[in-house]
Amino acid sequence: MAKTHEILAQSRKDEGKGASRRLRRAAFVPAVVYGAGQPAESIQVEHNTILLAARNEWFFSSVLDLNVDGKVQKVLVRDWQKHPFKQQMLHMDFLRINENEAVRVNVPIHFLNEDKSPAGKTAGVVISHNLNEVEVSCLPKDLPEFIELDLADLKPGDIVHLAQLKLPANVDILSLHLGADHDVAVVTAAFVQEEVDEAPTAEGEGEAKPAGDVAKK
Query: What residue ranges define each of the domains in the chain, with the CATH number in brackets?
Result: 5-96 (2.40.240.10), 103-191 (2.170.120.20)
Residues 6+ apart with CB under 8 A from 100: 139
Interval 67-80: pLDDT, tens: 999 999 999 999 99
Interval 40-65: pLDDT, tens: 999 999 999 999 999 999 999 999 99
* 180 pLDDT above the threshold of 80: yes
Q: Please tell me the pTM assigned to this model.
A: 0.79
CA gap 77, 96 in Å, rounded: 9
